[in-house]
């Protein structure tokens, strides 16, 4: 199967907004032999485990467990990775989504046992937030939100909290065709877990209000009114608190914004994306520590292709 990179938050949409990008990890799995074999090539190959603790395998096991089954002992998994690990481009979400979808595909009657909605909720639970896994699954621009539990949905409002099962909903839209995405991939890695620890437990009301206004505007700017992109990508909830841990990222975002480009920290950083309708030469923005390229939005999300021989692949 092939799963896209994703950029989460997009400035003000902390833990909710996400965008799928045409940079792909490709993963294959098949029932074979009597033991688990994990083969990894590409980005991060020297750093990830080759046993059942590999994130793709963990997610496959989670899909089997959700169907009341155990992961088969004999399994071959091959990962060809292009999404940088710890870069803020959704590598862990891609691994989780790949594992859950491959696990479902290898289960007899998998799609009946595990709906797409169930996969989204399982993936969000594993990742800890839905904003990367949602676009990795469905592509495009996504807004994720807590779903009220079915038992409480009648009369529920848009402000309902997540149900007891932590169910997640998603709305997907195509990005306006004039919007181009520049991706500044950082050479350095940064742990999302660590940089979430930099965020305060509470924020000033004025900052929350500013983010609410920007997030609403951004949903419109990305889909119908791109001229508002710069104003819509102001964030006061996470980027200021993370800036001291990634000064080069903060400086790049500031420089791009000063030039009129709607730049934001990608996910938890340290990579950066800029959203623009201008015809920008990426070479003009080359910086030490970053690789810059224009990347199309991935409209399709994760794609699975069964080989019909017990092999399931994405990509």
Whole-angstrom distance, CA of residue 233 vs CA of residue 228: 9
Pick from 28, 30, 54, 238 the residue near ligand ATP by CB under 6 A.
54
Picked from ligand HSE, ligand ATP, none, the partner binding residue 95 (CB below 5 to 8 A depending on kind) is ligand ATP
Please indicate if the annotation marks 54 as binding a ligand: no
- 3-class secondary-structure state, position 168: strand
Q: How far is residue 240 CA from its own chain's centroid?
A: 21
When asked if residue 192 is in the footprint of ligand ATP (CB under 6 A), the reply is: yes
Query: How far is residue 175's CA from residue 263's CA, in Å, rounded to a whole number?
Result: 16
Q: Which two tokens stand for residue 77?
A: 């998994």
In the set 10, 19, 71, 95, which binds ligand ATP (CB under 6 A)?
95
Site for ligand HSE in 231-260 (CB under 6 A): 238
Our CB check for ligand HSE shows the closer of 63 and 93 to be: 93
Residue pair 87/65 in contact (Cβ under 8 Å)? The answer is no
Choose among 2, 66, 58: nearest CA to 28: 2
Considering only 47-55, 127-135, 154-162, 200-208, which stretch makes contact with ligand HSE by CB under 6 A? 127-135
Beta strands in 10-99 (DSSP E): 17-31, 36-42, 75-81
**Residue 147: CB minimum distance to ligand HSE, A:** 18
Among 5, 9, 134, 262, binds ligand HSE (CB under 6 A): 9
* Residues 4 and 132: beta-carbon distance below 8 Å: no
Q: Is 84 annotated in some ligand binding site?
A: yes
Least CB distance from residue 150 to ligand ATP, whole Å?
29
When the beta carbons of 89 and 229 are compared against ligand ATP, the nearer one is: 89
Query: Over the range 234-254, which residues count as b (16 or more CB within 10 Å of their CB) and which as e?
Result: bbbbbbebbbebbebbbebbe
Region of 88-96, 107-115, 143-151, 218-226 interacting with ligand ATP (CB under 6 A): 88-96
Q: Which residues are annotated as a binding site for ATP?
A: 84-94
Contacts to ligand HSE by CB under 6 A: 8-9, 14-15, 129, 131-132, 192, 196, 238, 267-268
């Amino acid at each position: 199967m092939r799963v896209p990179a994703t950029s989460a938050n997009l400035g003000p949409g902390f833990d909710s907004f996400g965008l799928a990008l045409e940079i792909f990890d490709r993963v294959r799995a098949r029932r074979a032999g009597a033991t688990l074999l994990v083969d990894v090539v590409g980005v991060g190959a020297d750093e990830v485990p080759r046993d059942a603790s590999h994130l793709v395998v963990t997610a496959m096991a989670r899909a089997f467990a959700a169907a009341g089954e155990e992961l088969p002992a004999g399994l071959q998994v091959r990962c060809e990775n292009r999404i940088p690990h710890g870069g803020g481009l959704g590598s862990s979400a891609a691994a989780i989504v790949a594992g859950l979808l491959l696990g479902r595909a290898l289960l007899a009657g998998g799609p009946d046992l595990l709906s797409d909605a169930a996969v989204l909720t399982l993936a969000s639970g594993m990742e800890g937030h839905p904003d990367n896994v949602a676009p990795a699954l469905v592509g495009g621009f996504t807004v994720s939100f807590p779903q009220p539990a079915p038992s409480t949905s009648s009369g529920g409002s848009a402000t309902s909290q997540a149900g007891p099962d932590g169910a997640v909903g998603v709305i997907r839209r195509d990005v306006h065709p004039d919007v181009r995405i520049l991706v500044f991939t950082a050479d350095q890695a940064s742990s999302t877990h660590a940089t979430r620890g930099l965020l305060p437990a509470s924020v000033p009301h004025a900052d929350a209000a500013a983010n609410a206004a920007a997030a609403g505007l951004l949903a419109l700017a990305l889909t119908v009114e791109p001229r508002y992109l710069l104003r819509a990508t102001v964030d006061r909830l996470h980027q200021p608190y993370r800036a001291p841990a990634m000064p080069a990222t903060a400086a790049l975002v500031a420089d791009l914004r000063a030039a009129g480009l709607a730049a934001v920290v990608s996910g938890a950083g340290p990579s950066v994306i800029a959203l623009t309708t201008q015809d920008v030469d990426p070479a003009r923005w080359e910086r030490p520590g970053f690789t810059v390229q224009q990347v199309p939005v991935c409209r399709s999300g994760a794609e699975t292709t069964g080989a019909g021989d017990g092999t399931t692949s994405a990509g």
